[in-house]
Amino acid sequence: ARLITEETVRATTDSALASSITTLDAEVDGNLARLIAEETARADGDGALASSISGVSADFNGRFAQGLVKFEAVAAPTGVDARFSVLLRAGTNQSFKVSGFYVELYTEGGVQKSRMAVQADQFLVTSGNSHHYPLVFENGELKLAVANIGTVNAGLLQSLNGKMKIDLNNGTIEIFS
The pLDDT tens digits of the residues spanning 119-149 come to 999 988 887 777 778 889 999 999 988 888 8
- CB contact at 8 A, 124 and 133: yes
DSSP string spanning the chain?
-EEEEEEEEEE-SSEEEEEEEEEEEEEETTEEEEEEEEEEEEEETTEEEEEEEEEEEEEETTEEEEEEEEEEEEESSSEEEEEEEEEEEEEESS-EEEEEEEEEEEEETTEEEEEEEEE-SEEEE--S-TT--SEEEETTEEEES----S----SEEE-TTSSEEEETTTTEEEE--
Averaged pLDDT score across all residues of the chain: 92
Q: Is the pLDDT of residue 76 over 90?
A: no
Closest CA to 81 of 111, 125, 57: 111
Residue 147: per-residue pLDDT: 85
Confidence of residue 159 (pLDDT cuts 50, 70, 90): very high
Confidence of residue 13 (pLDDT cuts 50, 70, 90): very high
Residue 107: per-residue pLDDT: 86
Question: Using only C-alpha atoms, what is the Rg of the chain?
Answer: 25
Task: Please give the model's pTM, rounded to 2 decimal places.
Answer: 0.76
The pLDDT tens digits of the residues spanning 78-94 come to 777 899 999 999 998 88
